Amino acid sequence: MRFLVDAMLGKLARWLRLLGYDAEYGRDASDDELLERARSEDRLLLTSDVELFRRALHSGVKAFLVKGSTEEERLAQLASKLGVKLEVDLKRSRCPKCNSPVVEVPKEAVRGLVPEGSWSRYDRFWRCTGCGQVYWQGSHWANIEAVLSRARKLASRAR
Ligand SMILES: [Zn+2]
């Protein structure tokens, strides 16, 4: 499942990438450009814009209307309607910033690239094969798990 996410749902694009999905993000794209890109790259267009959603359907572009006012609600909807898995496996995660795959790298390889405190505190690091950003399961990781856990609960209620 490959996605194209409209400009209003940038946060959702970052979540999908973390969850391992190929999610491109149409930051400055016009509606016409989004429709053309979704068609030419065979991506499912995710939008919260009813008008754009209708245009997509009329022009034969696969699209999904995203509802919900929180990330949890939106993620739960993608899980219950599209089967998106709300589990992070860093082996298949993509970079939230640029959508390139991330790979685990030896701790020694990221010395000097991450704050000294994080480097000494954590043993596992991942690096984006595109932009080079380094990731680790730091203190923010609990928040990520908490959001996903709430989203999973909402999704199971919706089923
Ligand atoms: Zn990247």
Segment 18-48, tens digit of pLDDT: 999 999 998 889 999 999 999 999 999 999 9
Instruction: Measure 59 CA to ligand 1 centroid, in angstroms.
Output: 32
Domain with CATH 3.40.50 in the chain: 2-82
Instruction: Measure 57 CA to ligand 1 centroid, in angstroms.
Output: 32
Amino acid identity for residue 153 in this structure: K
Instruction: Measure 105 CA to ligand 1 centroid, in angstroms.
Output: 14
Instruction: Measure 100 CA to ligand 1 centroid, in angstroms.
Output: 5
Cα 147–73–92 angle (5° rounding)?
A: 55
CA 113, CA 13: separation in Å to the nearest integer?
25
Instruction: Write out the two tokens for 59.
Output: 């022009």
At how many degrees (to 10) do helices 141-158 and 71-82 cross? Answer: 50
Query: Is the pTM above the cut of 0.85?
Result: yes
Q: Where are the alpha helices (DSSP H) in the chain?
A: 10-18, 31-40, 50-58, 71-82, 116-121, 141-158
Instruction: Measure 101 CA to ligand 1 centroid, in angstroms.
Output: 8
Q: What percent of the chain has pLDDT over 90?
A: 92
Instruction: Measure 91 CA to ligand 1 centroid, in angstroms.
Output: 15
In degrees to the nearest 10, what's the CA dihedral of 3, 73, 93, 35? 10
Instruction: Measure 55 CA to ligand 1 centroid, in angstroms.
Output: 31
The confidence score (pLDDT) of residue 158 equals 77
Task: State pLDDT tens for residues 43-76.
Answer: 999 999 999 999 999 999 999 999 999 999 999 9
Per-position b or e across 60-70, b if 16+ CB within 10 A of its CB:
ebebbbbebee
CATH topology of domain 2-82: Rossmann fold (3.40.50)
Q: Do 99 and 22 touch, CB atoms closer than 8 A? A: yes
Residue 42 DSSP symbol: T
Instruction: Write out the two tokens for 102.
Output: 């991330």
Instruction: Measure 48 CA to ligand 1 centroid, in angstroms.
Output: 25
